[in-house]
Structure formats: structure tokens, C-alpha cells
Structure 1
């Protein structure tokens, strides 16, 4: 099989490659943020707030605006904003690496012919947890950073952080579906073995 399931050695090298890609990708995101002179922040007006002027434009109910705010204008809370932005990247990378570790362990069990042990079930559960945790934790940290931007710009009475829960819902559905598929395959394999024993 491909993608790391051909042999124990192939599995090890494949997961090492995926881990290296995750680290490089995270480093690239951190460098992009570090080298930028601006901080991106997405806002939407609070419910019931009339149309308001915002940086030369008008923010109206139902609108969502992404601003590129100069870091020089955010010095009062720039330390906290940096901590949250870099933190979301680092924490996201750690979650990915932990998830890859459990993928590696599960693939190893498949290769040696033990895909339905208690340890394998734990691996699948942890893979699902990592899938769900990634958007939840990184999204939360980014929201805290954006809230800090809102505070520095003194817009707390006018706007709120614009957040999308689509990523979190999608990741949760994928994580639950993964557990369902694994449980179904496990049960199907058990029934097949029982049937063979009766023949």
C-alpha cells in the first residue's frame, strides 16, 4: 500500500516527511507574520449598532470587514497579539505532529496485522481528537488576538470579532465520521471472523 503503509520502514520515512512538511509550513506562516508590517483582523458590527465610519469606509449591519492594521498602531498590546499569533502557529504545529505520531502508530499496527486492538482504537480516537482540536484551539487564539486589536483601536462598542465556525464543525464531523468508520470496519471484521468460525 502507498502513503506510508507499504512497510514499517516506508511508514517511518513517510511520517517523517509529513512531519517535516508540517514544520516547514508552520515556519513559513510564522515568517510571513513576522515579516509583515500589518496585522489582519476581521470585524463585524455589533447587533443593533447603526452604520459607522471605519477607516474611510462604512460598516453596516450584516457586513464583515477585514482590516490590515499597521503593527505600529498596535504597540500598546502588540506583545499579546504577537504571543497569540505565534502561539496559534506553534500550537497548531504541535497538534499536527501529535496527530501524525498517532497515525504512525496506527499504520504500524496495520502493517503487522493488528489494526483492531485496544491500542489501535486509542490511536484512532486520538487522531480524531487532534483533527477537532486544531481549528478549535488555533481559532480561539486568533480570536483573542483580534479582540486585542479591537481594544487598541477602541472599537469595542462598535464591532465584534468576525468568526467562522465552519472549519470547527467540519473538523468535528470528520473526527466523528472517522470513529464511525473505524467502528463499522471493526464490527464487520468481527462478524466475518465469527461467520468463518461457523462454517
Structure 2
């Protein structure tokens, strides 16, 4: 089988490769943030507030913008913002690596012919948990970072952080769908074995 399921050795090397990609991608994100002189902050006006002048433009109700703020303007809370941004990247990397560990364990069970044991079910559940938790935790840390940007600029009375839950909803749907597919395959395999026993 392809993508790491051909043998135990191939599975190990494939997952090590994916883990290296995750670490490299996270390292690149950290370097990109560190080398940038700006912090990105998605904002929208608070409900019921009039249009506000913001950095040479006018923020209208219903607008949603991504503000690029110089780090020099955030000196009051820059340390906290940095911690939250780096934490989001590092925690996201850890969740991906934990998810890959359970993918590796599940693939190993498939290779040896035990894809429907209790341990395999636990692996699939943990993979789904990692899928759902990744956008929830990283999104929360990014939200705290954006709130810190708003606080440092003293804009909390006129703007709110723009937050979309689409990524979280999509992750939850994928996680639930994965469980549904696994349960369906498990039940189908059980019925097939029962049918064979009746023949």
C-alpha cells in the first residue's frame, strides 16, 4: 500500500518524513514571524459603534480588515504578543506530531492485520481529537494575541477581533466523518465475517 502502509519499515520512514515536514513548516512560520517588523491582526468594528478613523482609513460597520501593525508600535505588550504567537505555532506543531504518532500506530496495526481492535479504535479517536483540537487551540492563542494588539493600540472601545469559526467547524466535521467511516467499515467487516461463518 502507498503513503507509508506498504510495510512497518516504510510506515516508519513515511511518518518520520511527515513529522520532519511538520517541524520544518512550524520552524519556517516562527522564522517568518520573527523576521517580520509587523504583526497581523484581523479586526472588525464593534456592533453599534459609528465609523472609526483607523490609520488613515475609515472602518465601517460590517467591515473586516487585517491590520498590519509595526512591532515598534506595540512595545507595551510586544513580549506577551510574541509569546502568544510563538505558542500558537509550537502548540500546533505538537498537536500535529501527536496526531502523526497515532496515525503511525494505526497504520502499523493495519499492516499486521489488526485494524479493528480496541487499541486501533483508540488511535482513530485520538486522530480525530487532534484534528478538532488543532484549530481550536491555535485559534484561541491567536485570538489572545490579537486582543493584545488591540489593547496595546488602545482600540478596544471601537474594534473587536475578527474571528471566523469556519476552520473549527470544518475540522469537527472531518473528525466526526472519520469516526463514522471507521465505524461503518468496522461494522461492514463484522457482517462480512458473520456471513462467511453462515455459509
- When normalised by structure 1's length, the TM-score is 0.99
2:185 alignment partner in structure 1: 185
Alpha-carbon distance between aligned partners in 1 of 2:95 and 2:80, rounded to the nearest angstrom: 22
1:92 alignment partner in structure 2: 92
What runs of 5+ residues in structure 1 fail to find an aligned partner? none
2:140 maps to 1:140 = yes
| TM superposition shift of 1:13 | 0.1
Runs of 4+ residues over 6 Å off in structure 1: none
1:24 alignment partner in structure 2: 24
SS of the residue corresponding to residue 47 of structure 1 reads coil
SS of the residue corresponding to residue 76 of structure 2 reads helix
Alpha-carbon distance between aligned partners in 1 of 2:172 and 2:75, rounded to the nearest angstrom: 36
Alpha-carbon distance between aligned partners in 1 of 2:97 and 2:16, rounded to the nearest angstrom: 10
| TM superposition shift of 1:65 | 1.2
- Per-residue CA deviations over 1:119-178 (Å, capped at 9, x if unaligned) read 000000000000001000000000000000000111111000001111000000000000
Structure 1 vs Structure 2 CA RMSD:
0.4
Alpha-carbon distance between aligned partners in 1 of 2:194 and 2:128, rounded to the nearest angstrom: 29
Alpha-carbon distance between aligned partners in 2 of 1:63 and 1:163, rounded to the nearest angstrom: 13
- When normalised by structure 2's length, the TM-score is 0.99
SS of the residue corresponding to residue 77 of structure 2 reads helix
Aligned length: 199
